[in-house]
Amino acid sequence: MAALIRPQVAVTPGSSSFPGRTPGWDPGPAEILPSQPGALGPRTGIYVRLPGANFPPAGSRPVDEMGDANIAPGGTGIMLRYTVPDGVTFAAAGIGFTAADETSLAFLSWTILAPDPVSGYIAKPSAIGSVRNLTELVLVVGSSVTIVIQGASSPAAAVTYDFIVRLRGWLYSEEVTR
C-alpha cells in the first residue's frame, strides 16, 4: 500500500494562491507509484501456456531411468523397459549410453519400441550421448504405453558386453481450457 504523504506544495492549502481554487481546497494524499514494474510471480504477470511436449509444465514429474543388458555378439537384448503411467503423457528429453568397456560401444546399435519401432530411432549407433551428457531426443508417448530400448551387438564383437542406457524426460497431463 502506498504511503500517505502530503503533496509538496509551496503554499498552504487554505490560501487562495491557486487561481480558480476555493479557499480550503485540499488535494489529498499523493499516490506514490513504484519505480520498477511488478515482478512476475505465481499470481502476477501474464499466464503463458507452452506445449507440455516441448517444455516441462508446472506440475510435471521428472523421469530418469537407467537400464542395462549383457548382449552377446550378433544378439539383441532389452536394455530398458519403462511403462508410462495411466492418465499422463511421457515426453523424452534425452538418451545416452555407456558400457563397462567404453570401446565396446562401437559394436552397439539401438532401437526404440513404443510398442512398434519409432521412426527415426531404428538401429542407431550408440556413438551419440553418454549417461552424463545425454543427446536430445524427440519422443512423446501416451499413457499406458511401454517404451523399450532394445540394443543389438555387432557380430564383429569379440565377447559379450554389458551395455548401459539412460533415458530422461517428464510426465505431464494437458489441461483443456475453453
CATH for the stretch 61-172: 2.60.120
pTM flag (> 0.85)? no
Chain segment 5-28, per-residue pLDDT in tens: 666 655 555 555 556 666 666 667
How far from 146 is each of 3, 97, 100, CA to CA, in Å? 60, 20, 27
| Domain boundaries along the sequence of the chain | 61-172
Cα distances (angstroms) measured from residue 61 to each of 43, 47, 79, 110, 126: 22, 21, 23, 26, 27
Per-residue pLDDT of 69-128, as tens digits, reads 999 999 999 999 999 999 999 999 999 999 988 889 999 999 999 999 999 999 999 888
Q: What is the pLDDT averaged over residues 64-72? A: 96
C-alpha distances out from residue 98 to 8, 30, 76, 104, 159, Å: 72, 67, 16, 9, 16
Name the nearest CA neighbour of 166 among 34, 62, 87, 13: 62
